[in-house]
Amino acid sequence: MTPEQIALVRASWLELAPYQDDIAGLFYPRLFALEPELRPLFKGDIPLQGRKLVAMLATVIDKLDRLDTLMRDIQSLGRMHVHWGVKDEHYAAVGQTLLETLTDVLGDVDFPPETRNAWATAYHALADTMRAAAAGAKAA
C-alpha cells in the first residue's frame, strides 16, 4: 500500500469510529444475504463475531504501515479459516460486504472512490496472505 492509501484508510477509520457498532451489526447479515452458504460456518454469537471483526480491523489499520509485524497472526487466521470451512472463493464476498458496509455507514460523500479503493487494496493484501496460508494448510 502507498502512504497515501494508508492515510485514506486511517482517516476514514477515524470517521467510522462512532459507528463501529453499526459496522459490527450490519456486516454479517449482509454477508449472509449475499452468500447464504456461509451462515452455517458461523456457529457462535454473530454480534460477538461482528465486534471481533471491528477489533481486528482496528488492529490492522493501526499497523498498515508495518503489516510485517502482523504477518504470523494473519497467516494463522488464514489457516484457521480452512478448518472452519472457508473456501478461497468466499474471500471475494467478504471484501464486497466490507466495502458495501463501510459505504453504507459513511455514505458516498465521506467514502469516495479513492478511499474505497484504498480499503480494497488493504483488504486484498490481507486476503491474499490468508489465502496463501490456507492453501499451505490444505496441502499439509
d(CA 130, CA 138): 12
Q: Residue 140 has what pLDDT? A: 57
Instruction: Identify the pLDDT of residue 138.
Output: 65
Q: What is the pLDDT of residue 134?
A: 81
- pLDDT of 44 reads 86
Q: What CATH number did the domain enclosing 92 receive?
A: 1.10.490.10
Contact 91, 130 (CB under 8 A): yes
What does the alpha-carbon distance between residue 41 and residue 51 come to, in Å, rounded to a whole number? 17
Containing structural domain, residue 95 = 3-139
Residue 3 burial (CB < 10 Å; 0-12/13-18/19+)? exposed
Closest CA to 58 of 103, 23, 101: 23
Query: What is the pLDDT, as a whole number, of residue 94?
Result: 95
What tens-digit pLDDT sequence spans the chain (140 residues)? 899 999 999 999 999 999 999 999 999 999 999 999 999 988 889 999 999 999 999 999 999 999 888 888 888 888 887 777 778 888 999 999 999 999 999 988 889 999 999 999 999 999 998 888 888 776 65
Which residue bears the cell 482496528?
58
What is the domain count for the chain? 1
pLDDT of residue 96: 97
Residue type, 108: D
pLDDT at 73: 87
Q: Which residue has the cell 467478504?
A: 94
